[in-house]
Chains A and B, each alone.
Chain A
Amino acid sequence: MKQTSSLLSVNHLQASVDNKPILKGLNLEVKAGEIHAIMGPNGSGKSTFANVLAGHEDYTVSAGNIHYLGENLLDLSVEERAHKGIFLAFQYPVEIPGVNNMVFLRTALNAMRTAKGEDELSAPAFMKLIRKTLAELEMDDRLLKRAVNVGFSGGEKKRNEILQMALFQPRLAILDETDSGLDIDALRQVAKGVNKLRDPQRSMILVTHYQRLLDSIEPDYVHVMADGRIVRTGDKSLALELEDKGYSWITDEEAA
């Protein structure tokens, strides 16, 4: 792959939690507009990788590097990464008691606008934007009136993540098991939202355990992770093959 067009470039990344190595030399190139699916068995390091990209401080990077838009990503704070267009859709979005969802969305959007040197959006302008975004995603405004994720069902939490993604318009979206715990209808709505956000300027990394998400969101590449590294890369047919044969097909091969 050509270095010049690369949005994200991960080289020999090693990371650990509480001194336990999780990522053991991960390589990945993502170019603008590409969708990469990362699959793999539980414990292979998929979520760790997603969290390292977003800057979670529980994870220590011990070796390797990550370049994002030509910058050393590891030098940036969590909020700086967000300002520069990195968005992590959480596997388990946290509940924030007492913080109204609408106030949260507006605060976040304005924090990003301020960081980019843009004016903050007024309350009416924000309302207009959020109404438009909701309409595009075919969502209603029920979730806006409640505290962030508090008492939301699993599907509502994931929809709230997609809403944020649509609002913040990231350059690189990392969806960490966004499909887990969703029923068919919720999955369909989430997938629809993600597909609407496909854009030649926007790249996505879909971390998923199952192939079913990839039925509705077609990736350019499918990677299989095992023991902290990417051990196989292919196109969407690889996902189907995995569905058919299970992960042991690849992980056993690796071990052999």
Chain B
Amino acid sequence: MSDQQALLAHYRALAQRDQPVLPLQQQAQQYLQQHGFPDKKIEDWHYTALNPLLEHAFTPASAMDETLELDRHTLGDLLLGNEESYQVVVYNGAYQSQLSKTRGLPAAVQIDSLQQALAGQDQTLMAHLGKLSGEGEHLFNALNTAYLQDGVYIRVPAGCKLDKPIEILHVSLSFSGALMAQPRHLVVLEAGAEASLVEHYASLGDSLCFNNMISEVFLAEQAKLHHARLQNESRQTRHLASLYIQQQQASQYHATSIAMGGLWSRIEFHNSLDAPGAEAWHAGLYMAGNAQLNNNHLKVLHRAAGCRSREVYKGILKGQGRAVFDGLVKVDIDAQQTHAHLSNANLLLSRDAEIDTKPILEIEADDVQCSHGTTVGQIDPELLFYLRARGIPEHQARQMICLGFAGDIVETLHWPPLRDYVEGLLQQRLQHITRIG
């Protein structure tokens, strides 16, 4: 058996370990038996070197007997809101109710452990779970689904406007080897509901972890969700996130994805605008330095008339950092009067940094306003000269130019504690950029 086959057998065995609860899990198990790892021949994975995921046989925390008693002190300042947010802590993929603070939450709003909601056969949960993701688009999705255990379940009832953001802090840590966390989130906003969701992925130390997660988000008529996502995990961490968003009439989805951590990271947004007047805004900022690979995949499907979407992703790459931007906006034949604008801009701070960017518009309707654009550039020497001529030292001038470049993406973070936190992280990461990046 080759290493890859042995690894495949490892993951197949994991998926078989529990009796599946849901038909969906059976389908995922079948998928796993029939499929191998995604490879470069699949277009979606063409630029995503998979090696960092195949170097270790990752095992779910629950099968490893990893038990660290977490307390809020251990989390330090990773939780960003004090009284300004409802807080949920997820540790190695498991919901930590003793660390979560949802006091004051309107009675009809549910923020629960997915495991508990599943055990209680929550009707809304059962009606939505897996409806967008299916058994999975690739082996890792199927693995999450087949092994489905825990995560966060959020339901905001019709007309309810949450007063504070829901802050989900994901932390991971492994003592005994290659650990896999597989959180599974489900978010349902009923008609006219409004909420803000902040997800923060961090590490408690630099250990060998693989976060393999799926989120499904359902936005009913007129619902509005702000969804900020910060991936700032440690240098050994692998992060694979598949997010599925479905929007009904006149709903609004505002996403900001900031990805700067991990050895290997792949974030997929599958956003479908299914009814007229839906709007989706995707802002993204990715950074990669030495030994980091950062993948960003965006699929926005316009399936109904009169929807709008805007996708703006920016990347800053230094050292030998590598990133991929793969953005697709697809406009169905019935989606007339679509407005869609897709753009990707990259700043390369060294010769060895690399970006593969592929923005694509696929348009079948004829009455639309769509555009796309890509830029890849370096720090403009004239900008640098201007700042230095004003007495600003070269390294600080470079930092200012990079922060300015990222500025409009950071601005889209609507929750000030997160915006300040991200600004601080960027300042640190961009502190010592030399002429060779």
Contacts and interface: CB of A to CB of B under 8 A. Distances in A.
Contacts of B396: 107, 111
B392 A108 contact: yes
Interface residues of B, number: 23
A168 B382 contact: no
Interface stretch (A90-98, A192-200, A221-229): A90-98
B386 A79 contact: no
Given A94-B383, A94-B386, A79 B393 contact: yes
List of 10 A-B pairs having minimum Cβ-Cβ separation, nearest first: A98-B407, A98-B404, A82-B391, A108-B390, A99-B404, A78-B388, A112-B391, A111-B391, A79-B388, A94-B386
Contacts of B407: 97-99, 147
Contact of A96 (B387, B406, B408): B387
Interface of B: 380-383, 385-394, 396, 400-401, 403-408
A54 B389 contact: yes
B389 A111 contact: no
A104 B404 CA distance: 11
B391 A108 contact: yes
A108 B387 CA distance: 8
A108 B400 CA distance: 11
Contacts, number: 77
A93 B393 contact: no
B401 A93 contact: no
Interface string A112-126: 100100000000000
B294 to A, nearest CB: 21
A241 interface: no
B315 to A, nearest CB: 15
Contacts of B392: 79, 107-108, 111
A78 B408 CA distance: 29
B375 to A, nearest CB: 12
Nearest to A107: B392
Contact of B389 (A78, A104, A115): A78
B404 A96 contact: yes
Nearest to A82: B391
B382 A94 contact: yes
A155 interface: no
A88 interface: yes
24 contacts: A55-B388, A57-B385, A77-B394, A79-B388, A79-B389, A81-B389, A82-B388, A82-B389, A82-B391, A87-B389, A94-B382, A94-B386, A96-B383, A96-B400, A96-B404, A97-B404, A97-B407, A98-B408, A99-B401, A99-B403, A107-B400, A108-B387, A111-B393, A168-B390
B359 to A, nearest CB: 20
Contacts of B383: 94, 96
Nearest to B400: A99
A108 B383 CA distance: 14
Contact of B391 (A79, A94, A96): A79
Given A79-B392, A111-B393, A93 B386 contact: yes
Nearest to A86: B389
Contact of A56 (B385, B387, B405): B385
Contacts of B389: 54-55, 78-79, 81-82, 87-88, 90
A164 B382 contact: no
Name which of A88, A90, A98, A112 has the most chain B CB atoms within 10 A of its CB: A98
A1 to B, nearest CB: 27
A36 interface: no
A171 interface: no
A112 B400 CA distance: 16
Contacts of B405: 97-98
B429 to A, nearest CB: 16
A93 B403 CA distance: 20
A128 to B, nearest CB: 20
Interface in A183-197: none
Interface in A160-180: 164, 168
B391 A83 contact: yes
Nearest to A115: B391
Interface in A105-155: 107-108, 111-112, 115, 147
A111 B395 CA distance: 12
A168 B400 contact: no
Nearest to B391: A82
A96 B396 CA distance: 14
Contacts of A79: 388-389, 391-394
B401 A96 contact: yes
Contacts of A108: 387, 390-392
A79 to B, nearest CB: 5
B400 A78 contact: no
A82 B390 contact: yes
A112 B387 CA distance: 12
Given A78-B389, A104-B387, A111-B390, 19 more contacts: A56-B385, A58-B381, A78-B388, A79-B393, A81-B389, A82-B390, A83-B391, A96-B386, A96-B400, A97-B408, A99-B403, A99-B404, A99-B407, A104-B390, A104-B400, A107-B392, A107-B396, A112-B391, A147-B404
